[in-house]
Structure 1
Amino acid sequence: MIIGIPKEIKTLENRVAMTPAAVESLIRQGNDVLVEAGAGVGSGLADEEYTAAGAKMVSAQDAWGAEMVIKVKEPLESEFKYLREGLLLFTYLHLAAAEGLTKALLESGTTGIAYETIQSPDRTLPLLTPMSEVAGRMATQVGAHYLEKTQGGRGILLGGVPGVMPAEVLVLGGGVVGTNAARMAMGMGARVTILDLSHQRLQYLDDVFQGRITTMMSTEPNIRQMVQKADLVIGGVLLPGAKAPKLITRDMLSLMKEGSVIVDVAVDQGGCIETTKATTHDNPTYVIDGVVHYGVANMPGAVPRTSTFALVNQTTPYAMRLAAKGVAALKDDPGLALGLNTYQGTLTCPAVGEALGIDAVKPEDVI
């Protein structure tokens, strides 16, 4: 198969979809790999490294002209012209919050396989997990930064100092993002509370953190109570493929402290805070009702070297299976089949269909 690796064009997105080592593995399998010149520079990977691995350095148009295109982030509007029937696109898509992209994929007949909806046999999300780990850890770092007075925050040191109370950190969701955010916040000395819907998950977190964080059921009264105390709120709620539920509503902002900070990691899926909107690394925050909002939709792009290697570790085995068999590989792996979001003009992710009001079928109905 001919495989294309375009350069990411999202604002300050420095990740790349494949490392030279991964490219070499694909080539040894018998594939031809076309890498857009400069695609890996942001992650510290030079064109010469890709050439040494056997790749051919090409233009964006040529990379997109491949049979299978592997990316990190969803295509932007300027890339819609490359979408076409017969193209297999393997990347993060987050279609529940991207109606324009969804329609472009459907109208073009592109087969879109989304990293974020592929599942392992244990129902975990293997291609979302590494970036959720990065984003969760970053969320605490980012929140600590924007709590500084010079950044518009309350002027609080997350961990406090002897004789002075540390910050109160509220984490919405006890999944991969929430767990990693809580681990970082606790390590920095903050007082941490995690809210989740699953009592079993809260039991697990209480055990893992040995009672050093507070766990609460995620109910509206509990959220209202805790936002009043919080200096930093981290949103880490995920419903695979679907829009995130709005757990903090606009009216709740009036309960929050002046200069408190919200970091909504769920922004890719529409955000779990009603006032969240997607921002970029070069203009990351805005203020509503005195509360600083951080909504960068590609947080791991700020640490591209770490993020690229963490992501490629997980995506390469799937890419090799797709390269060997194409869409037929989905028949052998029900978890991989769940990654199919669009196929020959049909929406194949019911959660996206529900979010956008578009008719959808299950992947097994078309492959």
Structure 2
Amino acid sequence: MSGYVAPGYEGVRDAFTDQACGGSALCVLRDGVVVVDLHEGWRDGARTQAWDERTLVDVYSVGKPVIALAALLLVERGLVGLDDPVARHWPEFRTAASVRQVLTHTAGLPTFPVPRDASAWSDWELLCGDLAAARPEWPPGTVAAEHALTYGHLLGELVRRVTGRDPGAFVAEEIAGPWRLDLGFGLNGGDQERCAELEFHGTDWPDRTGEPGSVHERAVANPAGARDLTVVNSAAWRTAVVPAVNLHTTAEAVARFYAGLLAGGELDGHRLLSPALVEEMTTAQFTGLDLFIGRETTWGLGVQLESDGTWGMGGLGGNAGWADPARGHAIAYVTRRLGDFERVDALDTAISSVRLLS
């Protein structure tokens, strides 16, 4: 294990040590200042390449708030309205859903409608065309179901239609650049060399796809490959832009992302959102049973809100990024060992137990 822990956060270091899994990192900022920055293990399955501060890892749905922020930049700039029909900006789009409903996972399009193999992940226009022609599974705005794989194409194509720019490039230029975040969709060759190799933490984990025919099972199955190690560790996957599930990033970058939101949309002197729009982003927009998650969930505009006042987003395999406004904490845990959220829960308990001194 390597890294830094500020005085008072020693218990967090101990918890991170207890949760070591052979490749992970934890970063915590308090009021924008790093108080925990730890990493352990290796970035490859053969355990020959040590995990370091530049290691990138696919964090799955932890990337959803990043593409949500990209769409909200369009709102901030007056180019899109939250209650605009998506079709106003994407004329081929048949579903009568608003931008707000897409952001809150209530657009009724939790699955790609046409069976596709893994090669489809590299064909942006094909998958967006499938979504444009799709019929919603229920009237938009009435039911929540996390748009597990479709979310990034829905919002990313909105960004592309309005700005004329690839959503991966837009995120790089308009979010990652100004906020100095080491993250991205669609990596170049040099960045691919920094990527961690994903593994399953348990032998039964790949089979946990939900009940046959359920929203959960259907949402993660198509296109093929999003849970297949031969796909997600491939150059094709890392090069593709799949904003719902293939953000490659460091723990520090995710924590800094949340620090910027906690600071009212500004980081390092670069304002991306107004405090008012950050407040709307992190205010409840829909509360109810989420058919993908399988429990009552409160959605903001791209983030999930918890009853304890924290908000953020978890990712498949036990990755997570979140903000704790009451304590000023911006937190990220990333791992290459895909498992459950027990590790995140243990770290959250340790971080929440820190006695903060004024």
| TM-score of the superposed pair, with normalisation by structure 1 | 0.26
Q: Which of the pair is proportionally richer in helix?
A: 1
Q: Which has the higher contact order (CA 8 A, sep 6+)?
A: 2
